Amino acid sequence: MSHEGWVILPSKKLDEDIEFFTNTLGMKMDTIYPADNPRVAEISGMGLRLRIDMDEDVSPGLLRICTDESDEKFAGRTRLVAPNGTVIEIAPLNQPMVIPKTEHSFQTRRLADNDSWVIGRAGMYYRDLIKGRLGGSIIASHIRIAEGGPVPDMVHFHKVGFQLIFCINGWVDVVYEDQGEPIRLTAGDCFIQPPEIRHRVLFSGDNLEVVEIGVPADHVTVIDHEMKLPSEHLRPDREWQGQKFVHNQASEATWQEFRLPGFVCRDTTICENTKGVASVQVVVPNEGETIWSSHEGDILFNYIMSGGLTLEGESVDSQILGKGDAFVIPPGMRVKYSDATKDLELIEVSVPGEFKTQFG
């Protein structure tokens, strides 16, 4: 079985339109008819197939051509208009990723507030954890799959600067480019997905919950129809834009001093493997008094996996936070973590991965 398809465009003067699409745009004419009085021309190129027809009463349309030859072929022009009225936009083939400047704010997000869940990609339920997404600089989502089984996902990748998947409850099987057979992520474990690594979510158990972090908030997901996973090669040390894939497991954790007195943490190695783009720590209470502090980083996001604490902040009311709650602390704001329960487990995500903490 074979198929073909065309973008239909109108024409009043076929010879002028042919001249524009072949000479100006550099496309090629494939057919023209009838021979004695041409009224239809079929033209291809730039990833397009056009049928320019004098007998069609349709809109002249908009064609956006993405190319890395815009300066050479189009002399820097970004907009052209064909004789038939079709608008041609010239855009870069690979749009640069832009991370907006962070719009800092102190905020908390409570699970008990019953924020509405929305259905996102592949039928998963999403809850937004950062109001306003700090001006578009970051997105943090609480994601649920209630009923386990096969996940209707496809091989895809994300055009992103940093991406974290942290499992809160249940399990999920994911297969990644150059990382071998599918990997099971369980509660307390996390993945860092380097920019543009191909992957596919395969199966999940019942009541799966993960927290997903992405920088920037608005980033493109691209379906790869060609790649088959697992991929042929096993290359665990491969880098994607300077970052390595990480599968950090809670069962293999070692604990160390946290940046704040009164707590210890386990390092997920994400700071090292992203070369300082971001850091992810799992924090639990320890002996010693907690004190007031502020940070000099850009983004400091926190999610409470279990237990709770009282969050005190300069010029804001103290808040008692518990499991499923999230909060963001802007740089320079003095805060104190008080009355932590013994079962507190807190995920701290910082961008960049290394920053100074001031006390007092």
Q: How far, rounded to the nearest angstrom, does the alpha carbon of residue 345 sit from its chain's CA centroid?
A: 25
Please, which pLDDT band fits residue 70 given cuts at 50, 70 and 90? low
Q: How far is CA 111 from CA 11, 89, 117, 195, 312, in A?
A: 58, 45, 11, 30, 19
Residues counted in the chain: 360
Q: What is the 3-state secondary structure (H, E, C) of the chain?
A: CCCCCCEEEECCCHHHHHHHHHHHCCCEEEEEECCCCCCEEEEEECCEEEEEECCCCCCCCEEEEEECCHHHHHCCCCEEECCCCCEEEEEECCCCCCCCCCCCCCEEECHHHCCCCEECHHHCEEEECCCCHHHHCCEEEEEEECCCEECCCCCEEEECCEEEEEEEECEEEEEECCECCCEEEECCCEEECCCCCCEEEEEECCCEEEEEEEECCCCEEEECCCCCCCCCCECCCCEECCEECEEECHHHCCEEECCCCCEEEEECCHHHHCCCCCEEEEEEECCCCCCCEEECCCEEEEEEEECEEEEEECCEEEEEEECCCEEECCCCCCEEEECCCCCCEEEEEEECCCCCEEEC
Q: Look at residue 121 and tell me whether its pLDDT is greater than 70.
A: no
Q: Are 139 and 161 in contact (CB under 8 A)?
A: no
Over range 35-59, report the average pLDDT.
94
Q: Which of 28-37, 93-102, 307-316 comes out lowest in average pLDDT?
A: 93-102
Q: Percent of the chain scored above 90 by pLDDT?
A: 84
What does the pLDDT read at residue 273?
Answer: 97
pLDDT above 90 for 176: yes
Question: Does the residue 97 lie in any domain?
Answer: no
- Say if residue 87 is in the same domain as residue 167: no
CB atoms within 10 A of CB 337: 22
pLDDT in tens, 72-116: 778 888 999 999 999 999 988 877 788 899 999 999 999 988 667
- Residue 168 and residue 44 in one domain: no
Range of the domain at 324: 252-359
pLDDT average, residue stretch 173-184: 98
Domain co-membership, 189 together with 278? no
The two tokens of residue 224 are 């790869």
CA 223 to chain centre: 13
Same domain, 147 and 277: no
Q: Which of 92, 116, 145 is the last residue of a domain?
A: 92
Domain final residue, candidates 225, 248, 271? 248
Overall domain count for the chain: 3
Q: What are phi and psi of 92, to 5 degrees?
A: -60, 145
How far apart CA 197 and CA 258 sit, in angstroms, is 31
Residue 71 pLDDT greater than 70, yes or no: no
Residue 99 lies in a domain: no
Same domain for 139 and 263: no
pLDDT at position 67 over 90: no
What average pLDDT does the segment 162-177 reach?
Answer: 98
Domain CATH code at residue 67 = 3.10.180.10
Tens of pLDDT, residues 126-146: 999 999 999 999 999 999 998
What does the pLDDT look like over 6-15, one tens digit per residue?
Answer: 999 999 999 9
